[in-house]
Chain A
């Protein structure tokens, strides 16, 4: 008789759902070869899995499944208004992967997606073709790691490396690769002169401990940043989102000091700061699905965007800008409008 009393979570990607259309792609074959013991379940369309009603995203995060799919329709989107364009007029983003291996409690994906399954769109060449078409029309600034952490998943997909390769062959495009990973950019150093901005999201250690589950420590990220600029990449520091926590003033002041004791500010391309902000519809979903101290905070809703009230926002923004200005020239600091 089997022992049913000691049940545990399945391993990461114990189940891989595969669109029939995705089977022929090299990326699919490569990923499947990496997980020979996973249960493979053929599906017609990724939404059959991703958009199921009544999914328990918290439980799914404990034992995430992988979905391999082919993306159709719009492949590259105009940048969202809550995101910073860094003075780029033609600001776009793309989602070659949906969802992230990390579990940040404040992440807008928790309010945006009905599932924690990770979806990889294996037809990345189609996205490259669309990016190439846009490049012929005008300069393109494209963020490729918004709805996921593409560097944290590069061992699985190889997409970050492929993007670097694509950009190195096109002059009219700059990509931002945003991450919380400890990815070692040395392996990509041959692409250092292409239009690639490696962007790290940084948070104080108490925020990482409380709200950024399974992410690398601050020290690990700082080490990765040093490697990135030492091998020649443009590095952006994103102090965004700033989260209200008890003793936030002291914690964030110490945090900025700590970061720039370990980072050479003169080698930073630019930096951004911004408060936690999220669309009202997403926070509503997050409160229903994940009632925690981030989602239940009584935010002010201004024109459909929820953030801290104006008095607290000003205090937090002032502190962030004052601290950052000590190290980074003001013309290299970007902040959102609110």
Chain B
């Protein structure tokens, strides 16, 4: 079996003698894996009975999830890249979540430190920023505005709490 990855889609190529997508991979009579097939494709579907492939397939599914693994036989290996791009594009359009990215997460941590917040209040601030992002707002812009409006780091915990309360009210109202 050949494993190839393109655009975050993992392909397990069983052989190159025919065109078939496998919806079931069996090890023995009653032990099987079932990769999800979400996309329309021009191939036949079938079961792959291959004890030697099963463990590798199981590991791949465990690591990358059933949506991102495709098990197939394909006569034209060069087509894998095109198939992967199409699947990845379909997924990107479908799952558009507005979340706090890595840069914003670091900026929130720095803000929590500069406000001298307790662990509980830091967790609360992180949660409301996550909510703020999920509502389609720009987290970095709000953090930058906060730094412009106040002299940070704060001089006292009391001052940090007051700024936290203002941010909470701004986001939740």
CB distance from A2 to the nearest CB of B (A): 4
A43 contacts B32, CB within 8 Å?
yes
B39 contacts A9, CB within 8 Å?
yes
CB distance from B10 to the nearest CB of A (A): 12
A39 and B44 CA atoms in complex are apart in Å by 10
B127 contacts A296, CB within 8 Å?
yes
A17 and B124 CA atoms in complex are apart in Å by 43
CB distance from B32 to the nearest CB of A (A): 7
Say whether B165 faces chain A, with CB atoms less than 8 Å apart. Answer: no
A15 and B36 CA atoms in complex are apart in Å by 9
Instruction: Place the interface of chain B in its size category.
Output: 35 or more
Q: Would you list which residues of chain A between 48 and 77 have a CB under 8 Å from chain B? A: 48-49, 52-56, 58-60, 62-63, 65
Residue on B nearest A61 in the bound complex, by CB: B94
Q: Is the interface of A mostly helix, strand, loop or mixed?
A: loop
Say whether A192 faces chain B, with CB atoms less than 8 Å apart. Answer: no
A248 and B139 CA atoms in complex are apart in Å by 23
Say whether A6 faces chain B, with CB atoms less than 8 Å apart. Answer: yes
Say whether B41 faces chain A, with CB atoms less than 8 Å apart. Answer: yes
Question: For residue A55, which residues in chain B have a CB less than 8 angstroms away from its CB?
Answer: 36, 65-67
Per-residue CB contact flags for chain A residues 3-32 toward chain B (1 = under 8 Å, else 0) read 111111110001101000000000000000
Q: Would you list which residues of chain B between 96 and 114 have a CB under 8 Å from chain A? A: 97-99
Say whether A264 faces chain B, with CB atoms less than 8 Å apart. Answer: no
B135 contacts A293, CB within 8 Å?
yes
List chain B positions with a Cβ less than 8 A from chain A.
Answer: 23-24, 30, 32, 34, 36-42, 45, 61-62, 64-68, 76, 79, 82-83, 85-87, 89-91, 94-95, 97-99, 124, 127-128, 130-131, 133-136, 172
